[in-house]
Structure 1
Amino acid sequence: MDTKEAVLDILNELTGEDLSDQMDDNLFDSGLLDSMATVQMLLELQEKTGITAPVSEFNRDEWSTPNKIIEKVESLRNE
């Protein structure tokens, strides 16, 4: 499973919405993600992609849209 597919699958599970046509929409401003969903998202991403993304280092601005989430996951995979 590629990064984009994994991220969209996780976001779909968490939000109940297909976000593939909303790749640059802010998920926090729209109310689709909140703090609890963020923790769940990070745990799922760690499980499905093998990244390490501690909640303590979470910067909401870097994870606010599906495209930014994909970009962040890919950068963490390359560390």
Structure 2
Amino acid sequence: MAVKEEVVEILNTIIGEDISDQMDDDFFESGLLDSMSTVELLLDLESKFNIQAPVSEFNRDEWNTPNKVIAKVESLIG
């Protein structure tokens, strides 16, 4: 499975709904993600992709849409 599909699957699970038609919507403005679900997202992404995404270095503006999460994960994978 490609990174995009895997990230969307993780997001769908955490958010509890299909976000595939909301790829540029801001999670935080819409209330779909809060601080706890953000930590869960980072931990799931670290586990799934064997990447390091420390909460201490988390910049909300770089992770606030599904497309940005996908891009960030791809950049961390290398």
Pick the TM interval, shorter chain: over 0.9
Q: In the alignment, what sits opposite 2:14?
A: 14
Instruction: Could you list the structure 1 runs, at least 4 aligned residues long, displaced by more than 3 angstroms after superposition.
Output: none
CA RMSD across the alignment: 0.6
Shift of 1:51: 1.1
Identity %: 67
- Alignment coverage as a number of residue pairs: 78
Q: C-alpha offsets along residues 35-67 of structure 1, whole Å, 9 cap, x if unaligned?
A: 000000000001111111000000000000000
Say whether the 8 Å CA contact 1:63–1:72 is kept in structure 2.
Answer: yes
Say whether the 8 Å CA contact 1:22–1:66 is kept in structure 2.
Answer: yes
The answer for unaligned runs of 5 or more in structure 2 is: none
Q: In the alignment, what sits opposite 1:61?
A: 61
TM-score in terms of structure 1 length: 0.95
